[in-house]
């Protein structure tokens, strides 16, 4: 099974890793983007977690004059609901499924695997998590949206998956209205969603990191 290139870091005892977080970056970034967040989470020493930060392939992005850059899918139009290449997004979700399969094959229970993603990455992990045939521990979507709400193939095994959505109230790139719409769409599909808004732009902030850390601890306790 061929996996996308990824940066991997482990916390706690590397010989006792029993949980994983697969974390996707945003448009134009790479797997190193969220590396600095690991020590900021302040996870307890007895929580041994494998953090996996895949690198998106470099593809032409229409809204950026067709320039090639790391992207999980093409964004064709910056409309309020975003016109995206759903086929490419689903292919990226399939790549996430490969990482899940690899972790399960390595002995990590699927329900101790969390998916996290920022911006484009958040859209992909929503698609990947809700359609995954293996029961997962949760989905974390940061400063993102849900472009495949009408086309996602929902997996019954993850119908009760915990979903955490965080967004900046002053986000000029992905307006908070899109984050709130993702929440309402998820709730319409029957999911329970925990939502938090922060006074920030298209970024992460200290309070958000604290909340993410708490969510990780609860999900992986």
Which positions are catalytic?
119, 171, 202
Whole-angstrom Cα distance, residue 176 to residue 216? 23
The rounded distance, in Å, linking the Cα atoms of 204 and 145 is: 16
Decide the pairing of beta strands 6-10 and 49-54.
antiparallel
Q: How far apart are CA 186 and CA 126, in angstroms?
A: 10
Q: How far apart are CA 184 and CA 187, in angstroms?
A: 5
Burial 91-129 (b: 16+ CB within 10 A, else e): ebbebbbebbbbbeeeebebbbbbbbbbbbbbbbbbbbb
């Amino acid at each position: 099974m061929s996996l996308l290139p990824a940066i991997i870091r482990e916390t706690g005892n590397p010989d006792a890793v029993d949980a994983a977080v697969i974390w996707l970056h945003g448009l134009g970034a790479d797997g190193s983007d969220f590396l600095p967040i690991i020590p900021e989470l302040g996870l307890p020493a007895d929580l041994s977690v494998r953090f996996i930060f895949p690198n998106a392939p470099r593809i032409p992005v229409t809204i950026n004059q067709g320039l090639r850059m790391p992207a999980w899918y093409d964004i064709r139009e910056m409309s309020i609901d975003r016109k995206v290449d759903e086929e490419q997004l689903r292919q990226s979700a399939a790549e996430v499924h490969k990482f899940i399969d690899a972790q399960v094959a390595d002995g990590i229970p699927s329900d101790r695997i969390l998916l996290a993603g920022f911006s484009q990455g958040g859209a992909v992990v929503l698609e990947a998590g809700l359609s995954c045939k293996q029961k997962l521990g949760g989905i974390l979507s940061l400063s993102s949206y849900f472009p495949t709400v009408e086309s996602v193939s929902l997996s019954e095994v993850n119908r009760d998956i915990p979903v955490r959505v965080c967004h900046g109230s002053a986000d000029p790139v992905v307006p908070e209205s899109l984050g709130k719409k993702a929440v309402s769409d998820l709730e319409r599909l029957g999911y329970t969603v925990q939502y938090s808004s922060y006074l920030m732009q298209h970024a992460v902030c200290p309070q958000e990191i604290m909340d993410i850390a708490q969510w990780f601890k609860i999900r992986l306790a």
